[in-house]
Amino acid sequence: MAPAAAGYFRRLTRKLTEDIDQLDAEEMAETSEASGARRACDCSRGEEVTMFGRLRSVEACSRAANANIEAEFFDGTDTVTLLWIGRRKIAGIEPGKTLLVRGRVGERDGRKIVYNPYYELRDDS
Number of structural domains the chain divides into: 1
Neighbours of 25 (CB within 10 A): 17
CATH number of the domain within which 52 lies: 2.40.50.140
Predicted local confidence at residue 118, as pLDDT: 96
Eight-state DSSP code of residue 77: S
Distances (CA, A) of 73 to 2, 23, 80, 119: 41, 17, 5, 12
Quote the domain boundaries for residue 20. 3-122
Which region among 14-23, 29-38, 41-50, 110-119 has the lowest average model confidence (pLDDT)?
14-23
Predicted local confidence at residue 8, as pLDDT: 72
Q: Could you report the per-residue pLDDT of 54-112, keeping only the tens digit for each?
A: 999 999 876 666 789 999 999 888 899 999 998 888 999 999 999 999 999 999 999 99
3: helix, strand or coil:
helix
Q: Could you report the per-residue pLDDT of 16-26, keeping only the tens digit for each?
A: 556 666 666 67
